[in-house]
Amino acid sequence: HIPEARFLDMNRLVWDGDPAWGTEMRSSEEIGGALRTLGLHDDIEHVVVYATNPLFASRAFMTMEVMGFAGRVHVLDGGQAGWVASGRELTTVEPAPAGGGRLSLGLRGDVLVSADWIHERLDEDGIALVDARPDDEYTGEDGGMGGMANPGHIPGAHQMYWEELIESRESPYLLDRPELTALFEGAGVSEGDTVVAYCMVGWRASYTYLAARLLGYETKFYDGSWRDWGTRDDLPAVTGSEPGR
């Protein structure tokens, strides 16, 4: 690991349960306990997260923003692969135990959205739904999670597979701002829009969330994603390669 980096077990942030929204986030109390274990406290101004899998870093970034760290949490571009490729060293030495300090956290109510929140706004201008899944899941050719859900996507949602936002899995650097902006515009996002990111269970969409925040869009996150929406027969779905309505 990078010298002095502390280990964040992602299982302490997410779980595979099925509460009302199909959300993957653990409770505020559980997440707060995980962050306190890392030694985070109110006086820390900058937290940098990284991983070998870029989705782990983006998921941690989104979670920490939701918990009140907006403006103080950052992602190491390129992750551990980029660190090594730039000639920097790794270590197996464990850092000293984390210190104490008061950590005041509060779940932000302006980031996470539910299926019902989206459904009420399907025809509303200024809401840009971005689907971070690959072709077969977006079009419905996957059969809806292999028959576990209705096939397709949310009406009006544009597809932008999350891997389009990075150079490659082997070189997981974010594209530059003009390229990112062009991708978001191609996904139906206009200046001033609120981006709502979703995928299958909330992992891939966290990278869309990260990129949208970097570009300055107001951004919301549908954690239940298609596992929630696609298993409800009272919600509409569209198949095929077009956003549809």
Between the CA of residue 242 and those of 45, 128, 231, what are the distances in Å? 43, 14, 21
Number of other residues whose CB lies within 10 A of the CB of residue 161:
19
* Cβ-based neighbours of 216, under 8 Å, separated by 6 or more: none
pLDDT score for 99 = 78
Instruction: Give CA–CA dist 107/88, Å, rounded.
Output: 36
Instruction: Give CA–CA dist 138/200, Å, rounded.
Output: 10
**Looking at the DSSP assignment, which residues form a beta bridge with residue 125?**
none
Q: Which of 33-47, 76-90, 128-142 has the lowest mean pLDDT?
A: 33-47
Q: Which of 45-54, 92-101, 220-229 has the lowest mean pLDDT?
A: 92-101
Q: Tokens at residue 59, please?
A: 């998921």
Does the pLDDT value for residue 31 go beyond 50?
Answer: yes
* Averaged pLDDT for residues 205-213: 98
Give the 3-state secondary structure of residue 203: coil
Instruction: Give CA–CA dist 63/107, Å, rounded.
Output: 10
Query: What single-letter DSSP state applies at residue 201?
Result: S
Give the 3-state secondary structure of residue 58: helix
Does the pLDDT value for residue 24 go beyond 50?
Answer: yes
Evaluated on CA atoms 208, 47, 57, 51, the torsion sign reads positive
Query: CA angle, corner 114, sides to 192 and 190, nearest 5?
Result: 15
Instruction: Give CA–CA dist 233/237, Å, rounded.
Output: 9
pLDDT score for 145 = 87
Instruction: Give CA–CA dist 122/194, Å, rounded.
Output: 13
Q: How many CA atoms lie within 13 A of 179 on its CB side?
A: 8
Does the pLDDT value for residue 21 go beyond 50?
Answer: no
State the chain's mean pLDDT as an integer.
Answer: 93
Measured torsion, CA atoms of residues 116, 118, 119, 122, in degrees rounded to the nearest 10: 170
User: Global pTM?
Assistant: 0.94
CB 132 within 8 A of CB 158: no
Number of other residues whose CB lies within 10 A of the CB of residue 115:
22
